[in-house]
Amino acid sequence: MPDYLARRNSLREIFQDSAQCAVFFDQVSVRYLTGFSGSNSALYVGSDANQDRLLTDSRYTHRAKTESPDIDIEIESDFIKKLHDLLTLNLAKKIALDPKRTNLLQADSLKDKDKFEIVAKSEILAPLRAIKDEYEIKQIKKACAITADTLWYLINDLRPGINERKISSLLQEGFLKRGADGLAFASIVASGENSATPHHEPSKRILQRGDMITIDCGALVNGYHADMTRTVFIGSCADWQKDIYGLVMNAQAEGRKKLVSGAIAEDVDAAVRKVIDNGKCGEFFVHGTGHGVGLEIHEPVFLTKGVKTKLSKGSCITVEPGIYLPGKGGVRIEDTCLITEGDAEVLTPGSHEIICVA
């Protein structure tokens, strides 16, 4: 089990100069700081560990005690009233809140007609969550292994005549069969001209010989996500398909090469984008190069222009360039990678070369 108290102590170091406590209502932050996975909760992190409180309702009494043994638990129906009691008891006047994860009603209610001051701390947990501990890496590796095993097994059986929705359902079945808790996100299965839409939703379109098919999928294990994409070809591969595939393959390889501790996020994006720009397809690369993966499928650090964050050992980040030609089709290749002291470790193994099946 992770050291959740150590995580809360690290959080205290972040807010201690500007607030006396931090409060969270969102499920991801609460789970990261306590281990609690219930859908209804609030968390008070005080200036001292003995002030910390996990609030939830009576449906989750047993789960909270089981998942969060290192924090005092309060079974409450009115979280705001209890939080006001804790603020008064602990003489706290300033509350650190993440405005990206707290709604206006929650923030306004906490202020209690300006008795308490809200200190906005956008993505306050991002520096902590970006660097995974041993437990987190283990869960992500397991999720990635299940994802890769399932995807490659399925790719080998792709044939003309099967539709996108059936492929999506087979992915879910494969994940569950191999021990996943579920889907990390709704799988993307995009064939033929549909592959020109980066986030296409699986349809009844039937695979045909000569199609390119992009499959973007991930398994979920103990709350942690995997993310992997491959584009393969049904029967044959036209010259124009080979051309854009080669560009994406080389760009993705460059991205993995640049994914080292100390690299600047936007520099990795620029290096990947340069390969595709040089191939005269820059206008068809319409999204960022990658993103962090953990308790959320998309979380900092993001590999995109303007993000000057330095990458650190222990971060799990995707590299996923793509080229999308409207009305024709598209290619995306994606791996979840772990930043180490040396080269990045690819957690979603498998070929990056052109593969034709059926």
Instruction: Kindly list the domain boundaries of the chain, sorted by start residue.
Output: 4-125, 134-357
Fold for domain 4-125? Answer: Creatine Amidinohydrolase; Chain A, domain 1 (3.40.350)
Res 312: pLDDT: 97
Beta-carbon contacts of 13 under 8 Å, excluding residues fewer than 6 positions away, are none
Q: In this structure, which amino acid lies at residue 92? A: A
Res 358: pLDDT: 85
Beta-carbon contacts of 21 under 8 Å, excluding residues fewer than 6 positions away, are 15, 44, 45, 46, 47, 51, 86, 87, 90, 92, 94, 95, 96
Res 29: pLDDT: 98
**What is the full DSSP assignment across 285-334?**
--S-SEEE-SSSSSEEEEESTT--PBP-TT-EEEE--EEEETTTEEEE-B
Q: In what order do the strands lie in the sheet with 299-303?
A: 299-303, 290-292, 316-319, 335-338, 345-346
Measured N-to-C along each axis, helices 134-155 and 164-177 cross at an angle, to the nearest 10 degrees, of 130
> Taking Cα atoms as reference points, which of 15, 18, 53, 51 lies closest to residue 33?
53
Res 70: pLDDT: 97
Res 186: pLDDT: 98
> Taking Cα atoms as reference points, which of 14, 50, 16, 48 lies closest to residue 29?
14
CATH superfamily, domain at 134-357? Creatinase/methionine aminopeptidase superfamily (3.90.230.10)
**Cis bond before residue 248 (omega within 30° of 0):** no
Mean pLDDT by 10 residues, the chain (358 residues): 96 97 98 98 97 98 97 96 96 96 95 92 97 98 98 96 98 98 98 98 97 98 98 96 98 98 98 98 98 98 98 98 98 98 96 95
Residue 332 · residue 217 · CB < 8 Å: no
**What is the full DSSP assignment across 53-101?**
EEEE-GGGHHHHHHH-TTSEEEE-S-HHHHHHHHHHHTT--EEEE-TTS
d(CA 187, CA 283): 25
d(CA 35, CA 63): 10
> Taking Cα atoms as reference points, which of 32, 46, 38 lies closest to residue 65?
38
Res 114: pLDDT: 86
